[in-house]
Amino acid sequence: MRIGFIGLGNMGGPMALNLIKAGHIVTVHDIRKNMAEAHLAGGAKWAETPADAAKEAELVLTSLPGPREVEAVAIGGENGIIHGISKTAVWADLSTNSPTVIRRLHGIFAEKGIAVLDAPVSGGVPGARNATLAVMVGGDEQVYQRIKPALDGIGDKVSYVGAIGAGAVAKLVHNMIAIGSMQLLAEAFTMGVKAGVPAEALFTQVQNGAYGQGMLLRALPRMIFKGNFDRVSFALKLARKDLGLATELARENNVPMPLANLVEQDLLTALAHGLGELDSSAAFTVQEDRAGVKVRAS
């Protein structure tokens, strides 16, 4: 496949190299030409502008820092992708982008009869180098099927999520969980270390316990998606007790734990709603009530 690849940073650079290794004909562009040295040595062609990278491509891929850069590369001035891409080609954005922005750009390109997909990736630089990324695709499913063989060259977990913007939404959900979890880990480990337990020992016990075994994530399809909170694995009243002991220990050791305290308030709200005898995952409904939506599988 003839591919125009724009953005050769920490993620884009290795992805473009893997597409070259997979046998695709790749034309590359970046604001820093020196970033393309390995690609040019591997047989890629250089394009002076995003429009030039798109001109002869069947597929245009962008891997850029954020929404502002994506919009500038897509439609900015006379050098934007939209001024070079053919109506038979597809543009797929691999960036972590705003669903609102990619949907708006999708509309602009659609007016010219050009297909657009959002296809953000996850797996970090190691995943980009080893072609083991997760690729979360939103847009027309038939268009997705058309370019999937190329996407398989950058990831081994390529999947269709839904309509345009769905991939971006899925990526933001993933990253929010990852970033928020790290902050909660920071609270828990600072509390544990300050209370006298070595970090390595804490890590081993967290890794060996229910959290480390992935039980909480598995509770989503097993409990929450079904609204099945009567199947009690760990009662909510006990979860509130345990978290209360943790926040009490934090206060004793002068460790600020803002996230843990917020979660404790939600557990108290759930208890006030009479959910204490249900599984601890029933506390999920407190946020559902605030958001006005139920997270259930069809």
Could you report the per-residue pLDDT of 219-235, keeping only the tens digit for each?
899 999 999 999 898 99
Q: What sign does the CA torsion over 71, 6, 98, 102 have?
A: positive
pLDDT at 78 over 90: yes
Q: How much is the pLDDT for 220?
A: 92
The stretch 233-252 carries a mean pLDDT of 95
Mean of pLDDT over the chain: 96
209-291 belongs to which homologous superfamily? N-(1-d-carboxylethyl)-l-norvaline Dehydrogenase; domain 2 (1.10.1040.10)
The listed CATH number (3.40.50.720, 3.90.226.10, 3.40.109.10, 6.10.140.120) that belongs to domain 2-169: 3.40.50.720
Q: What is the DSSP letter of 295?
A: -
Percentage of the chain modeled with pLDDT above 70: 100
- pLDDT for 216 equals 84
Q: How far apart are CA 235 and CA 232, in angstroms?
A: 6
Above 90 in pLDDT, residue 59? Answer: yes
Question: How much is the pLDDT for 111?
Answer: 97
Task: Show Cβ contacts of residue 204 under 8 Å, excluding neighbours closer than 6 positions.
Answer: none
pLDDT, average across residues 145-159 = 98
Cα separation, 224 vs 231, whole angstroms: 11
Closest to 142 (Cα-Cα) out of 158, 154, 160: 160
**pLDDT (0 to 100) of residue 158:** 98
Phi, psi of 117 (to 5 degrees): -125, 150
pTM of the model: 0.91
Task: Note the helical H segments in the chain.
Answer: 12-21, 37-41, 50-54, 67-75, 99-110, 124-130, 141-151, 166-194, 199-208, 215-219, 236-252, 258-272, 284-291
User: Stretch 19-44: mean pLDDT, rounded?
Assistant: 98
Domain ranges in the chain?
Answer: 2-169, 209-291
* Per-residue pLDDT reduced to its tens digit, 91-127: 999 999 999 999 999 999 999 999 999 999 999 999 9
pLDDT of residue 29: 98
Question: Mean of the pLDDT values across residues 148-171?
Answer: 97
Residue 298 has pLDDT above 90, yes or no: no
| pLDDT at 262 (0 to 100) | 96
pLDDT, tens digit, 9 for 90 and up, residues 183-216: 999 999 999 999 999 999 999 999 999 999 988 8
Of these residues, 33, 55, 171, 294, which one is catalytic?
Answer: 171
Does the annotation count 33 as an active-site position? no
Binned at pLDDT 50, 70 and 90, residue 2 comes out as very high
Site of tokens 């999520």: 161
